[in-house]
Amino acid sequence: MRNKTTVQAILAGATLALLTGMAHAETVIKFSHVVAENTPKGQGALMFKKLAEERLPGKVKVEVYPNSQLFGDGKEMEALLLGDVQLIAPSLSKFDRYTNQIQVFDLPFLFNDIAAIHRFQNGSTGKAILNSMTKKGLIGLGYWDNGMKQLSAKKPLRVPADAKGLKFRIQASDILEAQFKAVGATPQKLAFSEVYSALETGVVDGAENPWSNAYSQKFYEVQPYFTESNHGYLGYMVVANSKFWADLPADVRSTLEKTLAEVTAEVNKSATAFSEGDRKKIKDSGKTEILQLTPEQRAAWQAAMKPVLDQFTPKIGKEIVDAAIAANKP
């Protein structure tokens, strides 16, 4: 009887120790991204790490891997689905294989400005897109801005005909491919980490980037001309593996969601300041010329790319495109 009691006591103690250990087990969240730390996304990731670890001491540890240190933009989605990382924030263009709806953000000249984009993202349609990929193993947790995209090239781009015959680096997006084909250019899909070298060696002649990417990656050193086109939006979705997120303890998940909401607001507020500051730094470098479009020139670019909107609206969903257009009205 004594032996049985002793065994039961040992088992109970072991179980208690195991449960205690599990209760105190620290969840490690690897946050991988592909840009520099001195960008809106880079700063956002660091802010999330700081706040999450302060608010969940001993429960959560966040490891941030910038600049494709862990996975490049061609591998990070696969890594997330396999559980090799827990958080990533890819460009919205990267999600088109998981949901057609998200392609709305790639359409050229759809949104008038960042304020319109925020109205769309914060509305019912934008929020629904965040949750449209759960069956594919992904859950969106927020939209982070980088900024409006500008064209750059080895020659001045003032009208669509100036782009004819040039090779432009693009992300892996059917819409971005169609966008450059619409002006007679040749799109070439390249990983972000390869862009500087490709521009420097002439593998491609031009690209499209927000000011913060153009500055942080020093693209202005190898692109003699920038056209302030504001023709499209580059933003990111902070996304987690949906099973990993659902399996977190409820209190931890709730705290992380609130923290991400705060970080998202701060990232999007600072992105405009980053953009304006980096534009000035590029201009002051004297290494490139920034061209301003006249209203007539801008209208010509819009007209040249309008067939892209017509082509992809049925695939994205007319109601989604209509909601985006409606967001242009304050």
Q: Is the dihedral of CA 89, 95, 98, 104 positive or negative?
A: positive
Q: How many CA atoms lie within 13 A of 223 on its CB side?
A: 36
Residue 6 lies in a domain: yes
Question: Which of 92-101, 135-144, 224-233 is predicted least confidently?
Answer: 92-101
Question: Which of 6-20, 76-90, 259-273, 315-329 is predicted least confidently?
Answer: 6-20
Mean pLDDT of the chain: 92
CATH at residue 44: 3.40.190.170
Both tokens of 228, joined, read: 């302030």
Indicate the pLDDT class of residue 1, thresholds 50, 70 and 90.
Answer: low
User: Domain limits at 247?
Assistant: 2-321
Residue 196 lies in a domain: yes
Cβ atoms of 170 and 208 within 8 Å: the answer is yes
Instruction: Render pLDDT for 22-46 as a digit per residue (tens, 0 to 9).
Output: 445 899 999 999 988 988 899 999 9
Residue 191 lies in a domain: yes
Instruction: Render pLDDT for 194-211 as a digit per residue (tens, 0 to 9).
Output: 999 999 999 999 999 999
3-state secondary structure of 27: strand
Q: What is the DSSP string of 139-150?
A: EEEEEEEEEEEE
Nearest residue to 268 via CA among 191, 212, 329: 212
The alpha-helical segments, DSSP class H, found in the chain are 2-23, 40-55, 76-82, 114-122, 124-130, 174-181, 195-201, 211-216, 242-247, 250-285, 295-316, 318-326
**For residues 85-90, average pLDDT:** 96
pLDDT at res. 8: 55
Instruction: Render pLDDT for 136-177 as a digit per residue (tens, 0 to 9).
Output: 999 999 999 999 999 999 999 999 999 999 999 999 899 999
3-state secondary structure of 292: strand
pLDDT at res. 38: 86
Q: Report how many domains make up the chain.
A: 1
Residue 75 lies in a domain: yes
**For residues 203-223, average pLDDT:** 96
Burial level of 215, CB count in 10 A (0-12/13-18/19+)? buried
Residue 64 lies in a domain: yes
Residue 17 lies in a domain: yes
What is the rounded (10 degree) CA torsion for 314, 136, 118, 173?
A: -60
Q: How many CA atoms lie within 13 A of 79 on its CB side?
A: 20
Burial level of 20, CB count in 10 A (0-12/13-18/19+)? exposed
Nearest residue to 84 via CA among 253, 244, 259, 249: 244
- Which one-letter DSSP state was computed for residue 183? T
Give the Å distances, CA to CA, from 67 to 31, 38, 146, 191. Answer: 11, 11, 15, 12
Cβ atoms of 92 and 210 within 8 Å: the answer is no
